[in-house]
Amino acid sequence: MTNSRVRVRFAPSPTGPLHMGGVRTALYSYLLARKHGGDFLLRIEDTDQTRFVPGAEDYIIEALKWCGIEPNEGVGFGDGPHAPYRQSERKPMYRQYAEQMVAEGNAYYAFDTPEEMDARRKEAEAQKQTFSYDHSTRLSMKNSLTLSAEEVQALKDKGTAYTIRLKVPQDQEITIHDLIRGTVNFHSNIVDDKVLLKSDGMPTYHLAHIVDDYLMKITHAIRGEEWLPSAPAHILIYRFLGWEKEMPQYAHLPLLLKPDGNGKLSKRDGDRLGFPVFPLEWHDPASKEISSGYREKGYYPEAFVNMLAFLGWNPGTEQEIFSLEELAQAFSFEHIHKAGAKFDPEKAKWFNEQYLRHRDSAAIAQHIKASVARSFGIAENDHRLSSAFLEKAVDLLKPRVQFEHEMLTVGAYLFTAPESYDQAVVEKKWKPELATFYTALGEALNGIQDFTAAHAETTFKETAAAHNIKPGEVMQLLRVIISGQGGGVDMFGMFELLGKEEVVQRLGKGLKAIQA
């Protein structure tokens, strides 16, 4: 195992949209593969036909693409040497391994019907116990352990539905070596006889993932902590199949927890607390319900991935901003925290803010151009849509927002003249005798040849001085007159951006509105 090529798989079930915890699992898997120059593959675990959700598989593929964590092998990514990568299409491959275990006495046929199982469970429940199909009960059930070979054959010939169950040996210590948790011991008596092959002929997760990991030469299996309790059964299956030496190294990741209270992060928490739990917006085909996504909320995929990487992992240094490539280099299991991490939506926003700050203004300008045009009804040839104008606006707005789309709301006054003026400021700062000053200022501004921020500021100060007015007395109201708001971007920078005509025009209009 040590010398073989690193091959890591991400194996989600297409039962709905991939949630951010799943994306994190995919990310860590990708990072590990990338770090070692190995393979990262996507396998779709669709063995439960009753839970199939249309669109879920495409969603998973699109989400991985958006995040930039693309498999180099598997469903949606050109398949590869081990095709097919969809377990439903691999159905014929699994049975023989289950049968092999039956033949060798490590598994058995079970003919118990769902109704019979239910009855047993209810019975146990009545006595405040939990029914478990295991060493203690298997001899009281209807299976090839309790039935004669002839009876079993007769049942099978009749077409009676049956499952194949793992025959867990008694009184054994099963040890698993987890990459994150170290050695974990289980007693075999508490491991139940898991179903390996369902009555519809499909394998369960337990059998399927092992057969596929073995066949696909997987070296590392990274999955959520919820799988730790079934890991001993998985070890047993590898052992019975004679594949223990080829068994991938398991890593059980801590869970993502809700921001408030306790418990694992769920879709509900997102709705309740107003943050996305899915990478992409999801339209549920059955309920028609829409769940928000990081992409649609305006997150950069790089920021989303960076944030996700830090939920349970750290580089051991104080650096927090990492590109995907840097993450791949720095990634290691030693730095994965063992406890679950409460998700903090505020920090997620902070990551986006960092990426926005460092993004090239020209790129942002280009990116928001269409929505600026749409939001403010600006025609294609208008100078406000020129890259020069947009870039300056972006520079002004950049330190004030966490998302690009906020520039349109926070900085609306840069694109369109105000319709109303902050009343509180007007009441506080307006005095009729100031009218002469503002009128004079308009004229002075209009006289500037080169209408730069610096010239506008000088003119403003000179005009104020000439009128015996301290800048502080008229500054904020001037801002309100031009932008409608008492606060905002650097004022003279805004003047330069808007240009002389616009500023003078807004000044005249604003003054009139205030005096009215």
Partner RNA sequence: GGCCCGUUCGUCUAGGGGUUAGGACAUCAGAUUUUCAUUCUGGUAACAGGGGUUCGAUUCCCCUACGGGCUACCA
Work out how close the CB of 382 gets to RNA at its nearest, in angstroms, rounded to a whole number.
26
Q: Which of 429, 255, 446 is nearest to 337 (CA)?
A: 255
Whole-number Å distance between alpha carbons of 21 and 266: 10
The contacts of residue 150 (CB under 8 Å, 6+ apart) are none
Whole-number Å distance between alpha carbons of 82 and 64: 20
Work out how close the CB of 384 gets to RNA at its nearest, in angstroms, rounded to a whole number.
21
Q: How far apart, in Å, are the Cα atoms of 394 and each of 145, 417, 494? A: 74, 18, 11
Work out how close the CB of 250 gets to RNA at its nearest, in angstroms, rounded to a whole number.
12
Q: How far apart, in Å, are the Cα atoms of 444 and each of 236, 436, 448, 468, 480? A: 87, 12, 7, 16, 19
Work out how close the CB of 333 gets to RNA at its nearest, in angstroms, rounded to a whole number.
11
Whole-number Å distance between alpha carbons of 148 and 109: 12
Work out how close the CB of 178 gets to RNA at its nearest, in angstroms, rounded to a whole number.
8
Residue 385 or 415 with smaller CB distance to RNA: 415
Alpha helices in 300-400 (DSSP H): 301-309, 324-330, 345-358, 361-376, 387-397
Residue 203 or 301 with smaller CB distance to RNA: 203
Q: Which residues pair with 257 in a beta bridge?
A: 264, 342
Helix then strand count (H, E) for the chain reads 21, 14
Residue 330 or 491 with smaller CB distance to RNA: 491
Residue 206 or 506 with smaller CB distance to RNA: 206
Secondary structure element (H or E) that encloses residue 26, with its range: helix 20-35
Please say whether the dihedral angle defined by the alpha carbons of residues 123, 126, 129 and 130, taken in this order, is positive or negative. Answer: positive
Secondary structure element (H or E) that encloses residue 221, with its range: strand 220-224
Whole-number Å distance between alpha carbons of 472 and 482: 16
Whole-number Å distance between alpha carbons of 275 and 268: 10
Cα–Cα–Cα angle for 109, 114, 119, rounded to 5 degrees = 115
Residue 256 or 511 with smaller CB distance to RNA: 256
Residue 266 or 378 with smaller CB distance to RNA: 266
Work out how close the CB of 377 gets to RNA at its nearest, in angstroms, rounded to a whole number.
26
Whether 267 is catalytic: yes
Whole-number Å distance between alpha carbons of 129 and 295: 47
Which listed residue (91, 198, 267, 509) is catalytic? 267
Whole-number Å distance between alpha carbons of 46 and 53: 10
Work out how close the CB of 399 gets to RNA at its nearest, in angstroms, rounded to a whole number.
4
Secondary structure element (H or E) that encloses residue 107, with its range: strand 107-110
The contacts of residue 21 (CB under 8 Å, 6+ apart) are 224, 255, 256, 264, 265
Q: Specify whether the CB–CB gap between 33 and 6 falls below 8 A.
A: yes
Tally the residues of the chain: 516
Whole-number Å distance between alpha carbons of 431 and 463: 17
Residue type (1 letter), 344: D
Residue 214 or 385 with smaller CB distance to RNA: 214
Work out how close the CB of 380 gets to RNA at its nearest, in angstroms, rounded to a whole number.
31
Structure tokens at 372: 């600026």
Residue 192 or 302 with smaller CB distance to RNA: 192
Residue 265 or 385 with smaller CB distance to RNA: 265
Residue 156 or 400 with smaller CB distance to RNA: 400
The contacts of residue 385 (CB under 8 Å, 6+ apart) are 369, 372, 373, 378, 379
Q: Which of 161, 91, 174, 166 is nearest to 132 (CA)?
A: 166
Residues involved in catalysis: 267
